[in-house]
């Protein structure tokens, strides 16, 4: 059968899904992402020649290109169906350059959802390649290359090799570093509030001091509160006002990329990277058994809240059928997209209302299901009626013994109609003022304006002002979006890079800048104030948008950036502080010779070194307390000896976790891994050690590496395999089988389920809670 056309997408899984939709007349292949890029070994951009770019085939894509060229020769037409964004446009552009030939028709198609109907419709209405969108991507790539490849070598020279700077990444890091500085500089201030317990006709209710002489009460300390309590003693109270009104709360719009990442973090505990990875899977297509393979959500990189009419009609029918007419607005809810948004794609929503979460739960992994359920609920709720509350506000007034007019206020609300909250409600971020949905009823006696009320007691409460909260994935993404730094499609990569490069640590889902991240930020802010400026970065994003919209020339935009940046770069080379050579004096004596220690910078960060070096090579690890004072970290000695000099080994912490080091460092630089006490089954010389990969994943290997290469991902147990007697088996936990043991030899198929319910109860709870 002659083939009609070659269709090229980015991912193999998407290619497989689309091949089913188009049938055997079409050849569907995947480029597996970009096929061309700037070279890693050099800048690849020449600003002096109009920003000429040296795109090169990515070495690992040679075989992919060969397959695409071979398939292209079999067909008269080529459909470039890479992702419908700037990156996808660039991939399409580069593929066209590689595959174009005389007489071949080349089309661009955009799949905003991977369903059969959407794919067939897009194929019927192909487009031309978008040169403006390609130029916008190219300008961004060149900008990032110029910043990264010009500033990073400076950091290698001044701090240590291997560091990197990024046009957007460095600004995001600055936010985290400056937030930490705010927290450390914060001085808590004491303040008090006053509650009163009142009674009318035997019914008690609570109110708080709201105004004094019409102004907010100022209660800075206990002394002031005690004086006030004396003045309030015996005060007569009357009802000044009683207001009961109905208030409503409208639903949030369907998800855009940034909001999906934020709610994924708040409600599900997902990193931005995990949210986007799962969303990509839901978009590209899921095998639903007899229902076929289909994309479950629309394209997940969007900042538009627009929803196409057919989807609106479908969700309104679903709401009326499932929840009843009282939950359905007379007209569809319409949400405004921000002026800065690119409105090419719809909001993130389910592709079809035929696949409610409960219908497809068994076809999805737990976390993919939870994310799909989140997207489903948000979309459905966005087209429902508001939640309605009955709110009551009661004000009591009286003159205290000092003649001051005092006002206490009691408030409460009761949900009258749940509306959209029956399906979904946004989660408040730490530090934000929460808009509670739950009932907070104010139980009042029969009471009218002018009635007298008795006071039962007063309850003073002490408080302290709180520092701003540390960033989480959700709050950092929110601030990046509000400040216009980067674009939602890049947030996941930015946050991931900050952790991978050890500029920040994530503890209890909160971001802490590392010492390295703080040092790098201080240097960059000092030398490149514009590049590290949020407003400057946001303006650059707007200029990239203008290139995409055909309103600006990409080369002129780059030229405006490059000329001042080049001057700043030359100045930084001369004046940026050299941390490597920096020695900060301290008054702490060296424990070996008595000379004062100085703070120096090494590969693992700052440390104390004797100022009498090289005569004395004494060093100490240290940390700083909350007041900035140096605290020496005591060495953790072990009973093991150094194999080179017989000195005791101590436990130290490094880039890849804890390890053993000679206590006579730097005279002896011997190091070793901390082992589990399990002999290596391969070399019979070493022991198995727990290690951490460069991406933070735990694995286990022989401590005699590289002489012995034995390694495994699963936790080893010193127990012979019941089937082949190999001395080590592994403990593994899976979602389907629970806790199980298996042989670590590839040739042996021993597997034994130890606890089939291990972890499953918690999984069930999480899915239900969502």
- Quick check: 214 and 405 in contact, CB under 8 A? yes
Instruction: Find the range with the poorest average confidence among 181-185, 427-431, 454-458.
Output: 427-431
Report percent pLDDT > 90 for the chain.
Answer: 70
Buried b or exposed e, range 480-518, using 16+ CB within 10 angstroms: bbeebbbbbbbbbbbbbbbbebebbebeeebbbbbebbb
Listed in order, strand segments (DSSP E) in 437-579 are 452-464, 504-507, 510-513
Does residue 61 carry a pLDDT above 70? yes
Residue 560 near residue 544, CB atoms below 8 Å: no
What is the model's pLDDT at position 733? 80
- Whether the Cβ atoms of residue 596 and residue 590 lie closer than 8 Å to each other: yes
- Identify the sign of the CA torsion 10, 13, 15, 21: negative
pLDDT digits (tens, 9 = 90+) for 591-615: 889 999 999 988 768 889 999 998 9
How would you classify the pairing of strands 698-702 and 711-712?
antiparallel
pLDDT by residue (tens digit) across 236-287? 999 999 999 999 999 999 999 999 999 999 999 999 999 999 999 999 999 9
Q: How far is it between the farthest Cα atoms of the chain?
A: 100
Using pLDDT thresholds of 50, 70 and 90, give the confidence band for residue 762.
very low
Other CB atoms within 10 A of residue 361 CB = 13
473/394 Cα distance (integer angstroms): 40
Q: Is the pLDDT of residue 678 over 80?
A: yes
What confidence tens digit (pLDDT) does each residue in 466-498 have?
999 999 999 999 999 999 999 888 999 999 999
3-state secondary structure of 468: coil
Q: Compute the distance between CA of residue 619 and CA of residue 631 in angstroms, rounded to an integer.
A: 14
| 36 close to 99: Cβ distance less than 8 angstroms | no
Average pLDDT over residues 319-341: 89
Active-site residues, by number, are 299
Contact 89, 122 (CB under 8 A): no
Predicted confidence (pLDDT) at residue 766 exceeds the cutoff of 50: no
- 146-176 pLDDT per residue, tens: 999 999 999 999 998 888 999 999 999 999 9
Instruction: Report the pLDDT averaged over residues 296-321.
Output: 95
Whether residue 769 is predicted with pLDDT greater than 60 in this model: the reply is: no
Integer CA distances (angstroms), 517 to 10, 180, 578, in order: 34, 11, 15
- Whole-model pTM: value is 0.81
pLDDT at 622 over 80: yes
Q: By percentage, how much of the chain surpasses pLDDT 70?
A: 94
Q: For residues 304 and 345, is the Cβ–Cβ distance under 8 A? A: yes
């Amino acid at each position: 059968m002659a083939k009609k056309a070659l269709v090229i997408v980015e991912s193999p899984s998407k290619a497989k899904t689309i091949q089913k939709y188009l049938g055997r007349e079409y050849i569907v292949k995947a480029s597996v992402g970009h096929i061309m890029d700037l070279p890693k070994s050099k800048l690849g951009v020449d600003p002096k020649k109009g920003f000429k770019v040296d795109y090169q085939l990515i070495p690992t894509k040679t075989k992919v290109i060969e397959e695409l060229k071979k398939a292209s020769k079999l067909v008269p037409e080529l459909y470039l169906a890479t992702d419908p964004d700037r990156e996808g446009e660039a991939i399409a552009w580069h593929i066209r350059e590689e595959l174009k030939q005389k007489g071949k028709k080349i089309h661009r198609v955009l799949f905003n959802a991977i369903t059969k109907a959407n794919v067939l419709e897009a194929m019927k209405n192909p487009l031309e390649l978008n040169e403006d969108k390609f130029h916008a991507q190219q300008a961004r790539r060149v900008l990032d290359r110029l910043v990264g490849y010009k500033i990073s070598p400076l950091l290698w020279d001044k701090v240590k090799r291997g560091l990197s700077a990024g046009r957007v990444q460095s600004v995001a890091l600055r936010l985290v570093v400056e937030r930490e500085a705010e927290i450390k500089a914060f001085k808590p201030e004491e303040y008090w509030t006053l509650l009163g317990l009142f009674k009318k006709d035997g019914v008690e209710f609570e109110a708080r001091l709201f105004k004094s002489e019409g102004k907010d009460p100022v209660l800075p300390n206990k002394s002031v509160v005690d004086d006030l309590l004396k003045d309030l003693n015996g005060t007569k109270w009357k009802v000044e006002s009683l207001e009961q009104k109905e208030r409503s709360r409208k639903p949030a719009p369907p998800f855009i990329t940034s909001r999906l990442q934020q709610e994924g973090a708040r409600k599900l505990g997902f990193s931005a990277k995990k949210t986007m990875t799962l969303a990509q899977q839901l978009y590209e297509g899921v095998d639903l058994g007899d229902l076929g393979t289909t994309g479950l959500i629309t394209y997940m990189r969007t900042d538009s809240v627009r929803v196409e009419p057919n989807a609106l009609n479908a969700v309104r029918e679903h709401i009326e059928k499932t929840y009843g007419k009282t939950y359905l607005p007379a007209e569809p809810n319409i949400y405004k997209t921000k002026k800065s948004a690119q409105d090419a794609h719809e909001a993130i929503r389910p592709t079809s209302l035929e696949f409610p979460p409960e219908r497809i739960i068994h076809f999805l992994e737990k976390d993919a299901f939870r994310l799909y359920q989140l997207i489903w609920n948000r979309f459905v709720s966005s087209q429902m009626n508001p939640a309605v509350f009955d709110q009551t506000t009661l004000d009591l007034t009286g003159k205290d013994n000092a003649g001051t007019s005092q006002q206490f206020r009691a408030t409460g609300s009761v949900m009258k109609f749940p509306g959209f909250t029956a399906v979904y409600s946004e989660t408040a971020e730490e530090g934000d003022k929460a808009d509670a949905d739950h009932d907070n009823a104010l139980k009042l006696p029969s009471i009218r304006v002018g009635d007298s009320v008795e006071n039962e007691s007063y309850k003073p409460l002490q408080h302290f002002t709180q520092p701003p909260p540390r960033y989480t994935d959700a709050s950092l993404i929110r601030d990046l979006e509000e400040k216009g730094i980067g674009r939602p499609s890049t947030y996941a990569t930015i946050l991931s890079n900050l952790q991978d490069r050890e500029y920040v640590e994530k503890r209890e889902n909160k971001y802490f800048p590392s010492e390295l991240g703080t040092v790098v930020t201080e240097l960059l802010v000092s030398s490149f104030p514009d590049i590290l400026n949020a407003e400057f970065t946001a303006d650059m994003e707007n200029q990239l948008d203008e290139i995409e919209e055909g309103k600006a020339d990409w080369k002129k935009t780059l030229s405006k950036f490059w000329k001042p940046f080049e001057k700043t770069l030359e100045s930084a080379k001369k004046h940026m502080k050299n941390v490597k050579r920096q020695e900060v004096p301290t008054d702490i004596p060296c424990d070996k010779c008595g000379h004062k220690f100085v703070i120096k910078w090494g590969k693992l960060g700052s440390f104390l070194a004797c100022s009498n070096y090289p005569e004395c090579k004494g060093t100490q690890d240290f940390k700083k307390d909350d007041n900035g004072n140096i605290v020496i970290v005591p060495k953790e000695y072990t009973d093991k000896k150094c194999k080179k000099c017989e000195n005791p080994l101590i436990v130290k912490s490094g880039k890849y976790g804890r390890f053993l080091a000679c206590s006579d460092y730097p005279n002896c630089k011997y190091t070793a891994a901390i082992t589990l006490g399990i002999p290596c089954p391969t070399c019979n010389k070493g022991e198995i050690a727990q290690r951490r990969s460069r991406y933070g994943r735990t694995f286990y290997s022989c401590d005699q590496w590289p002489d012995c290469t034995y390694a495994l991902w699963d936790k080893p147990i010193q127990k012979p395999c019941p089937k082949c007697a190999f001395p080590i088996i592994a403990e593994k936990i899976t979602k389907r089988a629970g806790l199980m043991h298996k042989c670590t030899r590839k040739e042996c198929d021993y597997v034994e389920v130890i606890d089939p319910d291990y972890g499953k109860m918690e999984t069930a709870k999480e899915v239900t809670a969502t």
